């Protein structure tokens, strides 16, 4: 009898200890759950949440922004009219601080107590499968290692809820920063797929340059930035017509010299008030955010530390420096994950004009993240241009060269599992790319030769919501023939005019 009682007791104890996770019984569906690690701004940052003064600071709501702008507009106008740069600078500083000042962290890298993220997700429910994911969000300002700790707990919870002993991580944009910190601290145990979608794994030049004060408004980059963004507009009404008209308008303004005049004005303003705006507003706010520091590429880092006046010690300093290890190790961490059976897919855009505010505007990108940083080291031609002839002639291994000669992926950390999509705007949704992700998640073998429909180099077609293989240099006429829309007609028309006019001006 005693024996039976103790056996029953043992059984009860075993059942109780494993009760939180029936996981140990395992889910038999064969598809481990997806955790989507979101981009910057994936959750609202709120001041005085739950009180009558509640104000969303990020993403900033337009009404709040306009109300603050209304307050400083007289100062800005007066400053501009009287050409008084002190007055103008003070108004701009007041504006930036009123809108973003409370986002600043303290010397320990901690948020103000009344500035919080009240809507952070906690995993619930056990639904999982190819069409369902758990959304991991975070306060983008904070130390990426804090997110890594939370992600660890999150993964454990998801495993317990679903009965799987591994998960798939699908990281979008800044999600790659969280991933880098995670892999560095926790490794890849319990992860079977890693997808990096437009992730600034080695940073982004726009952050590096801005944190070194290298701001420049350039009319060519501004126009191209507009041109490249226009096809992705969702106006909700007569999309194609509006896009085509805007495209034409932008090019006419550029042709008439109006864009150049505006840029010259902008540049003059930056020279006059830039220092003040940096020292009194941008540095005290954005210079205190380890999350933004994580975007600064290694080659800019030392100069940025000086320019942004990062404190020489304390929590903030330590957090900013700690992430350098994650960035330095991401290549090897992903390599060893892959060598040990984790399926890895890095995918990035190219040939989109980058943010038109920095001196390095020719760096090819998805508009936000440079292709060389997102791909862990591809060698790239300038935006809209092939690699130079000398490089191409000397190239021995052409297996990873794009058919348009713009990208050589052989210099990437993981060339065999890095995909490139021409004209793909940063993180824009695309059903074709989602199809690739599904294949990555369900196939045994994942490399750039695995899927006939998705070779290493594709081109985004936003209208058709898909991607198709790159076969040669960008050709506006071919684009128009494939998709005869008004926008594509205008693009073809202006490209023909430019081809005709450019030699005349040169
Ligand atoms: Zn399952």
Q: What is the pLDDT of residue 17?
A: 45
Between CA 212 and CA 223 the distance in angstroms is 24
Phi, psi of 347, deg, nearest 5: -135, 135
Ligand 1 centre to CA of 147 (Å) is 25
Residue 323: name the closest of 345, 297, 350, 354 by CA. Answer: 297
Tokens 């390095």, residue located: 360
Ligand 1 centre to CA of 441 (Å) is 13
Ligand 1 centre to CA of 446 (Å) is 21
Residue 224: name the closest of 256, 198, 257, 247 by CA. Answer: 247
Element (H, E) at 46: strand 45-47
- Length reported for the chain: 506
**How does pLDDT run across 238-273, given as a tens digit for each residue?**
778 888 888 888 888 888 888 888 888 888 888 888
Residue 307: name the closest of 293, 324, 328 by CA. Answer: 293
Tokens 């196939």, residue located: 443
Residue 380: name the closest of 342, 422, 340 by CA. Answer: 422
* Cβ atoms within 10 Å, residue 280: 17
Element (H, E) at 459: strand 457-461
Residue 103: name the closest of 55, 53, 42 by CA. Answer: 55
- Please give the structure tokens belonging to residue 327: 């960035």
Q: What is the helix, strand, coil percentage profile of the chain, to 5?
A: 50, 15, 40
Between CA 201 and CA 223 the distance in angstroms is 28
Q: What is the pLDDT of residue 274?
A: 85
Residue 374 makes CB contacts below 8 A (sequence gap 6+) with 176, 196, 198, 199, 200, 201, 202, 346, 348, 349, 365, 366
Between CA 425 and CA 163 the distance in angstroms is 37
Ligand 1 centre to CA of 21 (Å) is 14
Element (H, E) at 346: strand 343-350
Q: What is the pLDDT of residue 6?
A: 58
- Alpha-carbon dihedral angle through residues 227, 402, 360, 367, given to the nearest 10 degrees: 40
Q: What is the pLDDT of residue 443?
A: 95
Contact 173, 200 (CB under 8 A): yes
Q: The whole model's pTM is what? A: 0.89
Ligand 1 centre to CA of 445 (Å) is 20
Q: What is the pLDDT of residue 272?
A: 83
Ligand 1 centre to CA of 447 (Å) is 25
Domains of the chain and CATH, by start: 34-41+120-206+320-474 (3.40.50)
Could you say which residues of the chain have pLDDT below 70?
1-25, 235-236, 502-506
- Please give the structure tokens belonging to residue 385: 């241009």
Q: What is the pLDDT of residue 21?
A: 40
Ligand 1 centre to CA of 31 (Å) is 5
- Tell me how many degrees the CA angle 282-284-287 measures, rounded to the nearest 5: 75
Residue 369: name the closest of 206, 175, 171 by CA. Answer: 206
Ligand 1 centre to CA of 436 (Å) is 21
Contact 350, 406 (CB under 8 A): yes
Tokens 């128009």, residue located: 480
Q: What is the pLDDT of residue 5?
A: 55
Across the strands, what pairs with 421? 349, 458
**How does pLDDT run across 383-421, given as a tens digit for each residue?**
999 999 999 999 999 999 999 999 999 999 999 999 999
Phi, psi of 345, deg, nearest 5: -135, 115
Q: What is the pLDDT of residue 25?
A: 56
Ligand 1 centre to CA of 129 (Å) is 7
Tokens 């109006």, residue located: 258
Ligand 1 centre to CA of 189 (Å) is 18
Give helix 239-255 / helix 486-505 axis angle, nearest 10°.
10
Ligand 1 centre to CA of 155 (Å) is 14
């Amino acid at each position: 009898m005693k024996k039976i009682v103790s056996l029953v007791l043992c059984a009860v104890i075993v059942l109780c200890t494993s009760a939180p996770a029936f996981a140990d019984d395992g889910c038999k569906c064969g598809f481990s759950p997806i955790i989507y690690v979101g981009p910057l701004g994936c959750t609202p940052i709120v001041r005085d949440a739950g009180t009558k003064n509640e104000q969303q600071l990020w993403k900033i709501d337009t009404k709040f922004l306009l109300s603050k702008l209304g307050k400083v507009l007289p100062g800005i106008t007066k400053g501009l009219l009287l050409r008084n740069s002190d007055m103008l600078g003070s108004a701009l500083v007041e504006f930036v601080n009123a809108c973003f000042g409370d986002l600043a962290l303290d010397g320990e890298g901690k948020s103000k107590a009344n500035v919080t993220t009240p809507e952070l997700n906690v995993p619930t429910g056990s639904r999982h499968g190819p069409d369902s994911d758990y959304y991991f969000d975070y306060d983008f300002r904070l130390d990426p290692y804090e997110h890594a700790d939370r992600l660890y707990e999150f993964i454990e919870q998801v495993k317990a809820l679903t009965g799987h002993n591994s998960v798939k991580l699908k990281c979008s944009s800044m999600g790659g920063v969280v991933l880098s910190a995670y892999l560095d601290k926790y490794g890849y145990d319990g992860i079977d797929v890693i997808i990096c979608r437009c992730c600034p794994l080695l940073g982004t030049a726009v952050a590096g340059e801005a944190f070194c004060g290298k701001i420049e408004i350039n009319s060519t980059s501004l126009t191209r930035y507009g041109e490249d963004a226009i096809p992705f507009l969702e106006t909700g009404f007569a999309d194609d017509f509006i896009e085509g008209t805007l495209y034409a308008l932008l090019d006419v303004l550029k042709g008439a010299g109006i864009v150049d005049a505006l840029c010259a004005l902008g540049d003059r303003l930056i020279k006059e008030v830039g220092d003040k705006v940096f020292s009194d507003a941008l540095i005290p706010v954005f210079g205190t955010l380890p999350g933004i520091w994580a975007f600064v590429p290694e080659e800019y880092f030392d100069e940025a530390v000086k320019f942004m006046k990062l404190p020489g010690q304390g929590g903030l300093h330590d957090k900013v420096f700690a992430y350098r290890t994650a960035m330095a190790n991401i290549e090897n961490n992903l390599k060893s994950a892959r060598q040990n059976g984790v399926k890895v897919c890095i995918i990035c855009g190219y040939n989109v004009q980058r943010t038109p505010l920095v001196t390095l505007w020719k760096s090819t990108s998805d508009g936000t993240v440079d292709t060389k940083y997102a791909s862990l080291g591809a060698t790239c031609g300038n935006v809209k241009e092939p690699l130079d002839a000398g490089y191409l002639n000397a190239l021995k291994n052409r297996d990873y060269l794009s058919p348009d000669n713009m990208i050589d992926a052989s210099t990437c950390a993981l060339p065999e599992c890095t995909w490139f999509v021409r004209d793909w705007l940063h993180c824009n949704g695309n059903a074709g790319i989602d199809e690739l992700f599904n294949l990555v998640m369900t196939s045994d073998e994942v490399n750039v030769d695995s899927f006939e429909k998705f070779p290493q180099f594709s081109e985004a077609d936003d209208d058709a919501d898909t991607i198709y293989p790159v076969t040669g240099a960008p050709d506006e006429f071919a684009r128009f023939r494939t998709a005869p829309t008004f926008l594509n007609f205008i693009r073809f028309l202006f490209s023909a005019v430019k081809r005709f006019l450019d030699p005349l001006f040169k």
